[in-house]
Structure 1
Amino acid sequence: MIDNDFLATRFEADRGHLKAVAYRVLGSMGEAEDAVQETWVRLQRSDTGDVANLTGWLTTVVGRVCLDMLRSRASRREDPLDVRLPDPVVGPADGGDPEHEAVLADSVGSALLVVLETLTPAERLAFVLHDLFAVPFDDIAPIVGRTPAAARQLASRARRRVRGGAPVPDDLPRQRRVVDAFTAAARGGDFAALLEVLDPDVVLRVDFGALKPDLTAVVRGAEEVARRALMFRQPAGVSRLVLVNGGMGVLTAPGGTPASVMGFTVSGGRIVAIDVLADPERLAGLDLSALGLPGGR
């Protein structure tokens, strides 16, 4: 029997890795923390004396926990077409938050997380474990209840969806210039300037949550997105530039209370997607301590 103190030390060493896996699979930082905690409980109940690679064992366990959570979430959702944006990881615009950077290693941008939300639970898990964390299909197969060949096919289907729906973002300096131009044009009411920085096929996704389902929407096209930007523009001082899932974004927090988080996907010098989380309940649960704001679980 392995000493419990040793297990606790080893688990803490892998906690950041496990949280990163769970966040990519679930798209929710709160649920990711729950999945990591459940993995610790299962570790305590298991005999791992013969486990040669404890990190690999923990990775498959957290993957199994996440798959159960995804399936439970899917069974509860009445309308599969509802807009549900992943929980954003928000940090200072100049970076420098080690915990957030660890979770967002390997460039997990908003666009990728949004595409992952469209996959089946098994596809999402297979893709994340194999393509992002190099877990062999022989290890993934028992988790999803498939053969290794079938697990490979799950990841392959997911990969095609990701490549078709997650554009490669520009570097941060270029993103910042474009987002600065967008916010300046919106505040100034300059419709033509907004069109200059928006891709013609830009997609705006707004998630107000269960409290305001009538405002949750997907808007497509530069002209319609520009009109929305002018309708909901904020005065200077209410919004601030931040990093959202490793890319440029804007946090709106009048009076210090978060009202929305906007994540921008900038590719080819133009904004191709804007994802706005405005669900008060989920905003209240975000960890904004790195920005000097309250929040978090």
Structure 2
Amino acid sequence: MAAETAGMKRIVPDYDVPAALMVPHYACTIDGVLETIANAAALHIGVILLSGDPAASRTLVANHPLPDHFSIIAAPFDTPWIRDRSPIPVIGADGVQWVLPRMNMAGRDQDTVLFGAISVKESEPCGLLVAQGNLVAGPGGIALSSSQILSDNGLDGVAQLVPYQAQLGIEHWIVFEPFLEEQTRHADVHARFLNDGLLALAWNAGSAHDRAVARDIEIQVRAVLPDITVLRMPLRTAGSHYASPVNWIQIERRLLVPRFPLTPAEDSVLIGELLRAHGFDVVFIDSPTTEFGGSLHCLTASIYV
């Protein structure tokens, strides 16, 4: 089911190169993952460390071969899952504008006000409740969301999203039913665009339901982009724990791809082969995060200016 509207603005595809990648940095059970992301990303792009411990962050920067690629912002936050509280970048005649959707305040008060508190760039408020992880942007104003966006906002159908499309720069809003047991119900666990003509789908060989979900996403995308190439990325699960490789971070042709404890070696080989065949440089980062329902993409925020 897709909603369509026309407008001058366009949501920025999440494969566009950001001005910087924001990475939280503080003592937690996955601080090793956060530091690995920051160190790998800083080889190619600016990194903003959102720091709960500036002294520790300065040590990390000092030990990096490109310390001038880092900046540090000290600010309080509740969790490292900052993607879902970050503003949505929309580009128009006046450049990039930030749209800040309505937030679910429960239990994450500091995260909810984080970007308003640390940003000098003003954000335009939006009345729709949407986590950025559930808004995967592609070419020409196409966006993917699971039906969680409807239930989060008390909406009966995709047509009720139309009033928000112009503000968010969305021309074609594709909404799909999520994987059967996946706990986040966010689109960035299901599918990611790699460029204007390439889409990657998480492909669960162990679930007919989840494969049907992936096929539905492909069918809806092909209705808008009939010539798109689709890659099927092997996905492993254990109950509600989904080890989705497409929750990656993209920096031009470089992909930081999560590798989970659930991911067998043969899957990593296949993922690497599929992506390298399309010209991508693949770096695997061990991600012991399956119990949390997210990975590298969810743990960071892309900053467009």
* TM-score, normalising length: structure 2: 0.30
* TM-score, normalising length: structure 1: 0.30
Q: Pick 1 or 2: higher relative contact order, CA cutoff 8 A, min separation 6.
A: 2
Larger radius of gyration: 1
